[in-house]
Amino acid sequence: MAYLQIAHFIIRIVMLILLKILPKRLMSAITGFLTNVPFPKWFLKGFLKMFVKVLKVNMEEAVYPISHYRTVNDFFTRPIKQSQRPIDSNPDTIVSPVDGRVIEKGDIVNDKALQIKGMPYSITELIKHEDFSRKFLNGHFITLYLSPKDYHRIHLPYNGTGIATEYNRGALFPVNNLGLHNIQNLFAINERLTTFFETSFGLGALVKVAAVNVGKIKTTYQQPWTHKEMKQKRSIFASLDSISYAKGDELARFELGSTVILLFEKDSITFVDGLGSGRFLKMGETFAHIK
């Protein structure tokens, strides 16, 4: 038993060193390039069939069969049948914006939310704009992880008006268990894109966290900054032209998979019973009620 513990410790240290020294941005750029290459149909179809089989992707939910997709990224961002993701139309409920597994959820204590149990991180570091981050002090949060097999589009969890967005350039550490358990302040140091919404129950934020091998985060609204600005600045904040969204409207998509964090103001919501870490939520499934 002692030998196994020592071996596990050594493996963990080696993995942490690799996490630090590997050229994650270069790896992500290469992955992004390859996933957008229109490979020969016979090759792509064979690769996707293997991917579907190994990860047990439910293709019965997809709008199109495997033969329809021209690139790997087309497959990852595939649409699914609306009938497979009914949206709870009750105006007093908040639904999951994605297909994803709950990493953590709960109350924000002062400005601290949980990355995982025992590892807090700062909301004021996650969101750099002070006037907006202050709104979520002692509020509520939920973090959802999208695996490579999951549906990769992000939808509105409530009715709201998009009023602002913030981009934070950062690292590209993995957001799987390896990163979650070993990288302090993971979500606050990784690259991320946040959209802010005015709602009937206060300010809401939807944070889209990038990771290694996540090619891009694309939004349905026009980004109010240039690619050059994103490369030159660590943090950019801009207002949006009051974009109205209904619950369930598409907001963005991950080109591979990553993490979404939802933030709510103090005393604005209550989570449904039985919502614990590890639970899988489908997009459109209720996870909270508006107070």
Beta-bridge mates of residue 219: 252
Q: Residues 28, 96, 258, 268: which is the catalytic one?
A: 258
202 close to 135: Cβ distance less than 8 angstroms: yes
- Our CA angle for 105, 252, 48, nearest 5°, is 95
Exactly one of 99, 133, 140, 152 is catalytic; which is it?
A: 99
Q: Report residue 129: phi and psi, to 5°.
A: -70, 115
Hunting for tokens 């709201």 — which residue is that? 160
Residue of 170, 173, 168 whose CA lies nearest to 21: 173
Residues 153, 13: Cα–Cα separation, whole Å: 34
In degrees and rounded to multiples of 5, residue 276 shows phi and psi of: -120, 175
Specify the amino acid at residue 259: T
User: Catalytic: 258?
Assistant: yes
111 is catalytic: no
**Does residue 99 carry a catalytic annotation?**
yes
DSSP labels, 189-252? HB-EEEEEEEETTEEEEEEEE--TT---EEESSPPSS-HHHHHH-SEEEEEEEEEEE-TT-EEE
The catalytic residue among 28, 111, 140, 155 is 155
Q: For residues 143, 210, 164 and 228, what is the CA-based torsion angle, rounded to 10 degrees? A: 170
Tokens 């939004």 belong to: 219
- Please say whether the beta carbons of 155 and 250 come within 8 A: yes
Q: Measured between alpha carbons, how far is 216 from 223 in angstroms, rounded to an integer?
A: 13
Residues taking part in catalysis: 99, 155, 258
